[in-house]
Amino acid sequence: MMSFQNSSAETPRNVIITGASRGLGKAMAARFAQNGDRLFLSASNAASLYKTMEELTSQYPAALVKAKPFDLSEKGGAEDLGHWVLEETGKINRVSRIDVLINNAGQFLPGTIVSEETGVLEKLIEINLYGAYRLTRVLLPKMMRDRAGHIFNICSIASASLCQWRFLQHQ
C-alpha cells in the first residue's frame, strides 16, 4: 500500500480527488491536507462539497483546498472537471504537475435485471466507469509529458461480481 505521508520539507503535491465531499474521498482528502498538500476536490452536490472544503481549510490551514462541483453522470462533467484542474494547477506555477489523481466518486444502486428501473445500470456505468475514464483522458497527457504522477482508481468487489449478481439474485 502506498503511503500518503509527505515530509513537510518536500514540495506540496497537487492532489485531485473525485467524490471528496464525504466518505472515503473526504477521509483521503483530510490525510493529504494534514501533509500540507494542494487539494482539488469535486463532487456533484455543491453545498456538501463546499462544507467539506471549509472544514478542511479551517482544520489544516497549511493546505491549499480548492473545490468545484461537477456531475460525473453527465457527459461533459468529467471533462469540465479535468479542464478546471488544469487551469487551477496552472495558476500555481507554469510547471505545476498533477501528482496524484484519485478517481473515487461512485455510487452503488442495488437492483436486479428484472426489478430495477430502466437506466439504473447505465447510470452506474456512467458515473463509476466513464466518469473516471473521461477525467483521466483529460489529465493523463499532461502527466505523461511531465513523466510524473500516480493514478488511483477506487473500485469495488461489485465491479467483479455485479453482472453475475444482478442476473442471478432472483433465480
Can you tell me the distance from the alpha carbon of 80 to that of 82, in angstroms, rounded to the nearest whole number? 5
**Closest distance of CB 120 from ligand NAP, Å:** 13
Q: Using CB under 6 A, which residues numbered 45 to 104 contact ligand NAP?
A: 45, 48, 71-73, 104
Considering beta carbons, is residue 11 or 161 the nearer one to ligand NAP?
161
Q: Is 6 in the site for ligand NAP (CB under 6 A)?
A: no
* Residue given cell 514540495 in the structure block: 11
**Is 154 a binder of ligand NAP (CB under 6 A)?**
yes
Quick one: 107 or 169, whose CB is closer to ligand NAP?
Answer: 107
Contact residues for 11 (Cβ-Cβ < 8 A; gap 6+): none
Place of cell 428501473: 117
Cβ of residue 11: shortest distance to ligand NAP, in angstroms?
27
- DSSP H or E segment with residue 168: helix 158-168
Indicate the residue among 27 and 62 with the shorter CB distance to ligand NAP: 27
Answer yes or no whether residue 161 interacts with ligand NAP by CB under 6 A: no
Question: From the CB of residue 31, how many other CB atoms can be counted at a distance below 10 Å?
Answer: 15
Instruction: Measure the CA–CA gap between 164 and 53, rounded to whole angstroms.
Output: 38
